[in-house]
Every structure is written in C-alpha cells, then in structure tokens.
C-alpha cells in the first residue's frame, strides 16, 4: 500500500511503522522526544515530592547512567560510529532522543581537530523550566547530575570531558552550558584537522549511518528511512530502560509500594500531558477522535506501541466496541526478566487508568478482561474491552 502521510483514514490493525512516510515518522519522532523528556520529569517529580530534590536527583543520575550504558552504546553500533576520537563523541550525542541536533537542545561546536572540540548548549528547555518553576533543582541537576551523565552519554571513556560553564546563569540570554572534549594523542600520532573530519554544509545529504564526516547541521530529516527505522526501534527499547532504571532505583531504596506509586504517577502524567492535554499524537497524525477505533490509532503511534513492543490483535465488534489482546512482546517479558519482577502492580493497578488517558477520549470505558501473570498455554499477556 502507499505510504501514509497521516492517519486520518480508517484504522488499520496490521499497520507498521514502515507503512508511514518519512515525513510522518519525523513528526512522530518529535512527539517521542517530548514524551522521553516528560517521563524523566514525571519520575523526578514523584520522587521529589516524597523525599526531596537531592534524593530525586540521585535516582535521576542512576537512571541516566543505566540508560547511557544500555542504550547509547546500542545507538553508536546502529550508526556505525568508530568511536576513535572526540568528534565521534559529538556524533554519538546526535543520536539519543534528548540529542544535540537542535530540536531539543541546540548547540554550536568549535572543533579544533579530531581530538578537541568545545560544545556550547545555546538553549536548554529543561533549564528554562527550572528557572521559571523549580530553581532549587538547577544546582543539583546541572552541577551534580549532568557532568557524569554527559561523560557517559559520549560513550568513549578515552575522551576527557570538562564542563567550562554550568548554570545557574545570570541572565536568560546567556548560554546554558559549555563542554570541552579532548582526547590525548600519543606522541608522534598524526591528528586530523577539522577540515578532514567535519562537513559544515548547511544542507547535509541523506545518510544511512554516521560512519562518515561529522555534520554539525544534521537533523533527523537527513537520516534515511531505514536508518530512522533502526533508531526508532532502539528508542523504544530505551523508553523501557529509562522507566525501569528509575523504578529499580526507587524500589531498591524505598521498597515496592513507593516504586509502584511513583510509577503510576509518572505514567499518568505522561499520558495526561502528551496524549490527552496537548493531544500531540492526534495532532501529528491528523486523527479525529470520534470512535474507539480512532483512539486505538494513538496506541499504535506511542513509543510503547501496539505495533511491536506490545503486539496487539483486535476483535472489532463495532467502531465503538473493541476487544484488544496484547500478545507476547518485549513487555511484560522485559519486566519479568528484571532483577525484581513486578508485572502485577503495573498491569493490575496502573493499566486501566493509564490506558484510558492514552486513548484521550473521556467517553471510552476500559475494562480489563485478562491480566498477567500469563497462562503457560498461550502467549496472551492481557486483554481489554473498550466501549464508547
């Protein structure tokens, strides 16, 4: 079938991300970036209101370090980055959803040679939010969490990282922060010049990976569709890792009851802000939310999508009455295989209320028909009835 530029047409229970046009995928990825940052902020807020900002930031750091170890290393393999110098580290920072390519955290780079670069974050939405709403978070986040986080995000530990400017700042027109990347070169080793490793064209070509020169003006639009598809799968994995990183840290410190409550609060906030209040998925896909099947489109487009990580089948009795079955996918197997299994709280207590927010339409009633633990006789994880 022809690639879809939006999802204004009928619900397709067999839809895949490959059925979407590249332009549609780019809109979707932008929503994923908002969701990625929102989930972290939601967890941070849930922990802070119980134990204070310093405990929340401690949990935050442990989560981000885990994400960097499990996910950023995956990104550089997909992108075929050799990770041999400081400029390769700048490529690695272009790949996470919270990247340096401009849409979220725009940067400028002063690249001296392949082993030395200075990166300036010219605008930071997180800092702007803290300055306006939570100034007490600026020092612990920017001075305690961020330096070890960026050091791990750059993947290569052979490249030395130094923060040369960190918040708080004196005025909103100042830069957010600045970082110096250096890789010591052995005596006698030839160090390539900036011109040999950087292509400063304002219009980079479409690329299949980042094995070539560093493009300071790169955007997701320059990724080929196959490259985007690989990265989208990696970002879905990272979404689970981010949540689990926070959950496991909180549970180890404060127990399962607190961790379960924080998780429910965090996911409720994400669903409320990303799906419901701002209707980001519906707007990106041009979806009118008049029926249950309209709202099911939103579940297909979310990062925890019913098109793969949570593979779904549907018994569509009418446009306003659907039974959805989630098959064996990356969750809850992923949850079962973590150090502390916990499928029951996530599904039994949080599943219904969170799903209702994901569906956006307040008139849709969600009823669980079957929940984990899974029967050994089949691969059904859960079953939900949705009525309007």
43 DSSP 8-state letter: H
4 DSSP 8-state letter: B
Query: CA 175, 177, 182: angle at the middle one, nearest 5?
Result: 130
- H or E element: which one contains 386? strand 380-387
Q: Name the residue among 102, 88, 87 with its Cα closest to residue 33.
A: 102
Whether residue 287 has pLDDT greater than 60: yes
* Mean pLDDT (the chain, rounded): 92
φ and ψ at residue 73, rounded to 5 degrees: -65, -35
User: What count of other Cβ atoms lies within 10 Å of the Cβ of residue 286?
Assistant: 14
Tell me the three-class secondary structure of 162-218, residue by residue.
Answer: EEEECCCCCCCCCCCEEEEEECCCCCCCCCCEHHHHECCCCCCCCECCCCCCECCCC
Whether residue 365 has pLDDT greater than 80: yes
What pLDDT score was predicted for residue 372?
76
Give SS3 for 262.
helix
Whether residue 385 has pLDDT greater than 50: yes
Whether residue 74 has pLDDT greater than 50: yes
What pLDDT score was predicted for residue 130?
95
Residue 40 makes CB contacts below 8 A (sequence gap 6+) with 60, 63, 64, 242, 246
Residue 290 makes CB contacts below 8 A (sequence gap 6+) with none
286 DSSP 8-state letter: T
Buried b / exposed e over 169-197, threshold 16 CB at 10 Å, is beeeeeebbbbbbebeeeeeeeeeebeeb
More confident position, 365 or 343: 365
Q: CATH number of the domain at 230-387, please?
A: 3.30.1380
Q: What is the pLDDT of residues 185-210, one digit of tens each?
A: 988 899 999 999 999 999 999 999 99
Whether residue 377 has pLDDT greater than 70: no
Question: What is the sign of the dihedral through the CA atoms of 222, 224, 225 and 227?
Answer: negative
What pLDDT score was predicted for residue 100?
85
Segments of the chain assigned to CATH 3.30.1380 = 230-387
Q: In Å, what is the CA distance from 43 to each residue of 38, 57, 124, 130, 337? A: 9, 10, 19, 15, 22
Name residue, tokens 């998925």: 281
Percent of the chain, pLDDT > 90?
A: 81
What pLDDT score was predicted for residue 269?
94
Q: Name the residue among 235, 243, 211, 207 with its Cα closest to residue 222.
A: 207
The residue-averaged pLDDT of 96-114 equals 91
Gap between the Cα atoms of 19 and 1, Å rounded: 8
N- to C-terminal Cα distance for the chain?
Answer: 30
Percent of the chain, pLDDT > 70?
A: 93
Q: What is the pLDDT of residues 209-258, one digit of tens each?
A: 999 999 999 999 999 999 999 999 999 999 989 998 999 999 999 998 99
Q: What is the pLDDT of residues 317-344, one digit of tens each?
A: 999 999 999 887 655 444 555 555 555 5
What pLDDT score was predicted for residue 329?
62
């Amino acid at each position: 079938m022809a690639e879809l530029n939006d999802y204004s047409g009928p619900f397709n229970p067999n839809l895949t991300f490959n059925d979407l046009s590249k332009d549609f995928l780019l809109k979707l990825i932008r929503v994923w970036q908002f969701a990625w940052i929102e989930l972290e902020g939601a967890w941070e807020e849930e922990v802070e209101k119980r134990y204070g900002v310093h405990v929340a930031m401690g949990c935050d750091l442990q989560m981000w370090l885990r994400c960097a170890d499990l996910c950023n290393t995956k990104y550089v393999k997909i992108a075929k980055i050799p990770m041999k110098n400081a400029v390769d580290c700048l490529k690695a920072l272009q790949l996470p959803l919270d990247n340096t390519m401009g849409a979220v955290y725009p940067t400028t780079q002063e690249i001296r040679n392949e082993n030395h670069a200075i990166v300036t974050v010219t605008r930071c939405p997180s800092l702007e939010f803290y300055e306006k709403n939570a100034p007490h978070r600026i020092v612990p986040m920017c001075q305690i969490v961020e330096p070890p986080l960026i050091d791990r995000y750059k993947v290569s530990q052979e490249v030395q990282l130094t923060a040369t400017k960190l918040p708080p700042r004196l005025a909103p027109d100042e830069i957010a922060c600045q970082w110096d990347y250096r890789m010591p070169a052995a005596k006698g080793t030839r160090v390539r010049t900036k011109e040999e490793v950087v292509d400063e064209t304002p219009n980079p070509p479409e690329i299949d990976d980042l094995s070539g020169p560093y493009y300071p003006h790169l955007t997701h639009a320059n990724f080929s569709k196959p490259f985007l598809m690989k990265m989208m799968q990696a970002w879905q994995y990272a979404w689970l890792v981010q949540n689990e990183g926070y959950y496991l840290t909180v549970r180890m410190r404060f127990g399962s009851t607190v961790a379960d409550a924080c998780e429910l609060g965090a996911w409720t906030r994400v669903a409320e802000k990303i799906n419901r209040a701002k209707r980001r998925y519906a707007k990106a896909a041009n979806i009118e939310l008049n029926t249950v099947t309209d709202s099911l489109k939103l579940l297909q487009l979310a990062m925890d999508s019913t098109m793969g990580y949570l593979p779904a089948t549907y018994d569509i009795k009418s446009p306003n009455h659907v039974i959805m079955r989630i098959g064996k996918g990356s969750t809850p197997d992923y949850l079962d295989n973590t150090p502390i299994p916990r499928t029951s709280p996530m599904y039994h207590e949080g599943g219904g209320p969170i799903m209702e927010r994901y569906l956006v339409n307040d008139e849709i009633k969600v009823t669980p028909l079957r929940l984990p633990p899974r029967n050994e006789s089949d691969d059904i994880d859960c079953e939900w009835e949705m009525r309007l």
